[in-house]
Structure 1
Amino acid sequence: MEKIDFVIDWVDDSDPDWNLERQKYQVDTGDNRSVRYRDWNLLKYWFRSVEVNAPWVNKIYFVTYGHLPSWLDINNPKLVIVNHKDYIPSEYLPTFNSNVIELLIHKIPNLSEQFILFNDDCYINKPVRKEDFFNSKGRPLDAGVLSPQLPKENSITHITTNNVEIINKYFSRIDIMKNIFKFINIKYGKQNVKTIATMPWKIILGFHDFHMPNAFNKQTFKDVWNMESNNLKRTLGNKFRTKEDYNVWIFRYFQLMRGQFTPRKASFGKYYEISDNNNSIIEDIQEKLHALIVINDSEVTDFEATKKELINSFESRYPTMSMFEKRNNC
């Protein structure tokens, strides 16, 4: 199997330079809510979880505006620091739009053909193998579950609907039937009901998005950009997330519709939203219930108390410093 890199993007909302630049563009009509940027101080546990649960990773590409955590050992041979300007054209910078940052991920210099894209709220929660993400032929593992996209306020479904509009230019139900046992599969369990419910329509109604770290082939990014550069470029000019954007999941959808994936259990990962009651999240961290977990930011009554609760849970699970932390860090 080829080498596999991880890519993770991160923002430090306390960086005064970043905040000054963001203020310059606040007239932009995009999504500029604090939940898009605030830091829960959990990043070091992401690195600890990788070291414990996925020591086979080749390189970790750490993508930022330019700021870095004070504790991060940037000299670690497995770590590559990537500034936005290293791969995003200057006419689109600065950007505060995660869709811009991720649509061009394949442009990162020296990134491996096979890579896994993480957000900083996605954690490896128990030991995983390369084979959990790519098969022996380099095809990504995924759950090809179809589901209608229903736009609603403060959700991402406006954007995923934009993605699906492009998908319907190139694919139809016929393409699903060509790989029917990848779209209806015992590994998906009850999720198969969603796919079956969409089958009467000739067009693609949408996909179930598991909000998990996604395995990608870089070639898929190149192909879709060659096919849809005019549409994708429109997103690059949006300083903040907008309803008119496309996002990185469009590349996942192409992989699915081309049949360029191997089915994986839908229960491989679990998506959570932070709330005033995080018992389920803490139980999953402590009991290793899922291989991957996503802990998505959301509105809470007491941010500092909730942050401390999550930090304590991760610290209990991963008390040992990783190789990615400075040894003299205070």
Structure 2
Amino acid sequence: MNFDVVYTWVNGSDQEYVKTRDAHANIKKDTNPERFRDAFQMIRYSLRSLEKYFNIFNKVYILTARPQVPDWLDLNNERIELVHHDQVIPDRYLPTFNSNVIESFLHKIPGLSTNFLYMNDDFLFGAPVSLQSFYKDDKYRIFNTLFGENLRWRIYDGYQDLIGLGIIEHQPIMINKHYWEEAYALFPEKTKKTRQSKFRDDRNLCAYKLYRYHMLENHTGESDPVWITELNKIFRFHKLTNNFSKQQAFFDEMKKNSPEFYCLNDDLRDKPNPKVVKIIKEFLDQKYPKPSSFEKQG
């Protein structure tokens, strides 16, 4: 399979961005720092991990708000391209600070291959990865399911979710861009309302949940639902909290036994523990010491 890689990223410390975001915010949840900050330059390490462990992709696209550009990114590298929101999202929905809106337009990225691996900036590869983890026996491997179930009501950001299921929800997924577009066409009114939301809302359509539903409902012959028992063999979801001892134990274990891919989900609240921040940075530097070809040299 030929495939590209797509990242969504934002620099939450950009003061112009913060000023614009805060001017549109209505409630405290809208400015939750966990959704915007880039304290660890996680995408930098994610790209290092991608190149080190899964370097069979064609090209990387980073989708972000104009005029943001990671200051370390080498835009002269022909294998990576920065795409701004206004290149794929109609003006009537901009500016947007809602990942659900941004993700609903991924298939509009100019030049994007039919198949692409979608990454958040907190997804990393920890060991050599085979394409079969995402596409096997001519079938797309479908995550976000416990035991192969396909529940129609689990297509929203948080509405009707009884419990958090981060353990099955936060990993890279291989996407067919035509099927991605089809998924939103199933619910035109819900799609319209989602795209009108400046910030995330529990009743927004959630991209990876919607895609899971569509694939298991309408493309069963091309879908391979991955049970949690199998997913746990190759993936780990971890919340970064301010509990130093728990974080230290986790990263000590990761140094000895790292899965194929994992998510470091920011749950550090308003005041990250400096000791925790330090061990996270040390782990990333030790795990991925070699700059990728996407970084400026020198």
TM-score, structure 2 length as denominator?
A: 0.85
Q: After TM superposition, list the pairs within 5 Å mapping 1:119-198 onto structure 2.
A: 119-137=120-138, 139-143=139-143, 144-146=145-147, 159-161=157-159
Shift of 1:281: 3.6
8 A Cα contact 1:124 1:291, kept in partner:
yes
8 A Cα contact 2:150 2:216, kept in partner:
no
The worse-fitting range, judged by mean Cα deviation, of 26-35 and 5-14 is 26-35
1:35 to 1:305, Cα distance in 2 relative to 1, 3 A: same
Cα distance in structure 2, aligned partners of 1:29 and 1:274: 21
1:207 to 1:327, Cα distance in 2 relative to 1, 3 A: closer
Partner of 1:325: 295
Cα distance in structure 2, aligned partners of 1:157 and 1:224: 10
Cα distance in structure 1, aligned partners of 2:15 and 2:201: 24
Q: After TM superposition, list the pairs within 5 Å mapping 1:239-254 onto structure 2.
A: 239-249=198-208, 250-254=210-214
Match of 1:211 among 170, 191, 213: 170
2:93 pairs with 1:55: no
Partner of 2:197: 238
Cα distance in structure 2, aligned partners of 1:302 and 1:22: 22
8 A Cα contact 1:148 1:207, kept in partner:
no
| Structure 1 residues not aligned, in runs of 5+ | 164-205
What one-letter code is carried by the residue in structure 1 that aligns with 2:264?
I
Deviations, residues 280-308 of structure 1 (Å, cap 9, x unaligned): 44135423431111111113564443222
Partner of 1:257: 217
Shift of 1:315: 0.8
8 A Cα contact 1:97 1:239, kept in partner:
yes
Partner of 2:12: 13
Shift of 1:78: 1.2
Shift of 1:62: 0.5
Shift of 1:215: 1.6
8 A Cα contact 1:126 1:291, kept in partner:
yes
Q: After TM superposition, list the pairs within 5 Å mapping 1:74-89 onto structure 2.
A: 74-89=75-90
2:26 pairs with 1:27: yes
Cα distance in structure 1, aligned partners of 2:155 and 2:37: 22
User: Pairwise CA RMSD of aligned residues?
Assistant: 2.8
Deviations, residues 29-71 of structure 1 (Å, cap 9, x unaligned): 8632111111122222111111100111111111111311211
Shift of 1:273: 0.3
Looking at CA atoms only, which structure, 1 or 2, has the larger radius of gyration?
Answer: 1
1:74 to 1:207, Cα distance in 2 relative to 1, 3 A: closer
Secondary structure in 1 matching 2:30: coil
How many residues align? The count is 280
TM-score, structure 1 length as denominator?
A: 0.77
Cα distance in structure 1, aligned partners of 2:177 and 2:215: 11
Secondary structure in 2 matching 1:48: helix
